[in-house]
Amino acid sequence: MAVFCKQYLEENYSNLRELEKLCIEGIEFSSVENGAFKDCLNLKYLEIHENLFNTISSDFFQGLENLIGLNLSRNAILNFESGVFSSLKNLESLELESIDLEIKETLFDGLDKLKNLNLSWSNCLSVSTISGLTNLQELKLKCSGIRDFPENALKNLKNLKVLDISINETESIPPSFIEGLDNLEELNMSYMRLEKLEPKWLENKKKLRILNFDHNSITNIPLETFKDCVNLESMSFIFNQITSIDAKLFNDLSSLKEICFGLNNSLQSLDPKQFDGLVKLEKLEFDNNEIDSLDPNLFKGLHNLAEINFKANKISNFDVNLFKDTSKLKKIIIGNNKVKELPLGIFDSCHDLETLSIDIMEIETIDEKMLENNTKLNALHLNNNNFEKLNRNFFKHLTLLKELRISCERFDLKTDLFDDLINLENLLDTLFSHFS
């Protein structure tokens, strides 16, 4: 088995004293020679991945006092000797992702300048391990085996901007767990089995931009939850158990660009003024809920809306004026609803529309002029509806279309139906057996 040593560096890299970045990956070194880097005095970034050595001592980093970034992810390391990083006084970024060993509380002693720490898919077990890293700006603890989240555990990390504690199974986290992290910009608490959302988590989070609570068991969002999140741009609650949201939940969140409540939630309705004032909104996802209707004015004033997804609800009717104010829409996904007819003109204002999905519904007829203003369409899903024929003129203006799904039962396809689709690349194979 290969030994990582100074000789290897000298044979593979010229002028070690001037080297600033080094990446060693997949060579499967089985052991390490201490002092291998002692001539790499200007090395700033070191990455060592997918090797087989299982112990690293402090002498391993001899000569790397100027190191800024260190990535040891995906190695077979089983032991870090005491004080292993103590000489790396200038280290700002440390990646230990997918390291199969328990992180000891003293491991990071001396890393006073550390700004970014990634322990995802490793065995951190306790957040007290990192409580003394007061200059941290980014902390990733995804799937790190943490089950205990003590009160005020992160109170010293005043500079933290990004926190990811996702995929750590727990049903509750103390309200004060992230208290004092007023500089937080991104928070990921997805895949944690959380049953309750504590408004105190988001108290004074005026700089928060991205919030992710996907795949939990949250049933309710208290009205006051986002009162301080004035700069929030994206919130996601996909795959929870939410049955309703207050009409004023998004009030004063004028910076919002994305709202996602799809998959496994059970929302039955949205207030007509649910999104009032959200003029920067670009994306709405409410698929796979139980919504039975959308007010004609629901999207009024949302001039920057680019993508909506209301697939797989219980909607039986889409008003002709529903998309009147959304001229920038590029993607509309509204299939798998109970609709039998789409009103002519519903998509007329959507001049930039590129993707339209109206599949898996009960549409019996569709007017040949339905899409005449949607000349930028490149993906159209019509499959699994009840109409039996289409006029060739239906596709007349869709010369940019590249993908078409139209596998409708009893559909009578004429051989010239797609002649105007000169850029078509993807058409369901099952169509050809129905040509007449």
Q: How much is the average pLDDT of 393-412?
A: 85
For the CA atoms of 139, 143, 144, 146, what is the dihedral angle to 10 degrees? Answer: 100
Question: How far apart, in whole angstroms, are the C-alpha atoms of residue 234 and residue 224?
Answer: 17
DSSP H helix total and E strand total for the chain: 1, 22
Provide the 3-class DSSP secondary structure of residue 432.
Answer: helix
Question: How far apart, in whole angstroms, are the C-alpha atoms of residue 315 and residue 321?
Answer: 16
132 CB-side CA count, 13 A: 9
pLDDT of residue 410: 64
96 with 207, same domain: the answer is no
Tens digit of each residue's pLDDT (9 = 90 or more) over 361-391: 999 899 999 999 999 999 999 998 988 788 8
pLDDT of residue 412: 66
Residue 371 lies in a domain: no
Percent of the chain with pLDDT over 90: 66
Residue 102 belongs to domain spanning: 1-109
Choosing from 241, 264, 286, the residue where a domain stops is 241
Of 333, 332, 387, the C-alpha closest to 362 is 387
Q: How many CB atoms lie within 10 A of CB 127?
A: 21
pLDDT of residue 113: 96
Q: How much is the average pLDDT of 27-55?
A: 83
Q: How much is the average pLDDT of 16-38?
A: 83
Percent of the chain with pLDDT over 70: 96
Provide the 3-class DSSP secondary structure of residue 403.
Answer: strand
Count, residues in the chain: 436
Answer yes or no: is pLDDT of 1 > 60: no
Question: pTM of the prediction?
Answer: 0.91
Q: State the DSSP code for 393.
A: G
Q: Is 17 exposed, middle or buried (0-12, 13-18, 19+ CB in 10 A)?
A: exposed
Question: How far apart, in whole angstroms, are the C-alpha atoms of residue 45 and residue 53?
Answer: 20
Q: Residue type for 425, please?
A: E
36 with 123, same domain: the answer is no
Provide the 3-class DSSP secondary structure of residue 331.
Answer: strand
Residue 73 lies in a domain: yes
pLDDT of residue 411: 65
Residue 365 lies in a domain: no
Burial 399-411 (b: 16+ CB within 10 A, else e): eebbebbbbbeeb
102 with 124, same domain: the answer is no
Answer yes or no: is pLDDT of 2 > 80: no
pLDDT top residue among 11 and 308: 308
Q: What is the chain's percent helix, strand, coil content, to nearest 5?
A: 5, 15, 75
Residue 38 lies in a domain: yes
Residue 279 lies in a domain: no
The number of distinct structural domains making up the chain is 2
pLDDT of residue 433: 39
235 with 119, same domain: the answer is yes
65 with 146, same domain: the answer is no
pLDDT top residue among 1 and 285: 285
127 with 228, same domain: the answer is yes
Choosing from 224, 241, 258, the residue where a domain stops is 241
Choosing from 109, 132, 151, the residue where a domain stops is 109
Residue 366 lies in a domain: no
172 with 94, same domain: the answer is no
pLDDT of residue 324: 95
94 with 145, same domain: the answer is no
Answer yes or no: is pLDDT of 287 > 70: yes
Provide the 3-class DSSP secondary structure of residue 162.
Answer: strand
91 with 121, same domain: the answer is no
Q: State the DSSP code for 343.
A: P
105 with 169, same domain: the answer is no
380 CB-side CA count, 13 A: 25
pLDDT top residue among 38 and 332: 332
Residue 336 lies in a domain: no
Residue 235 lies in a domain: yes
Provide the 3-class DSSP secondary structure of residue 3.
Answer: strand
pLDDT of residue 408: 57
CATH number, domain with residue 76: 3.80.10.10
pLDDT of residue 432: 43
Supply the DSSP string of 217-260, one letter for each residue: ------TTTTTT-TT--EEE--SS------TTTTTT-TT--EEE
Q: What is the 3-state secondary structure (H, E, C) of 126-138?
A: EHHHHCCCCCCCE
175 with 215, same domain: the answer is yes
Tens digit of each residue's pLDDT (9 = 90 or more) over 403-436: 999 875 566 667 788 889 999 999 874 444 343 3
Question: How far apart, in whole angstroms, are the C-alpha atoms of residue 35 and residue 158?
Answer: 36
Answer yes or no: is pLDDT of 398 > 60: yes
pLDDT of residue 413: 67
191 with 136, same domain: the answer is yes
The chain-wide mean pLDDT, for the chain, equals 91
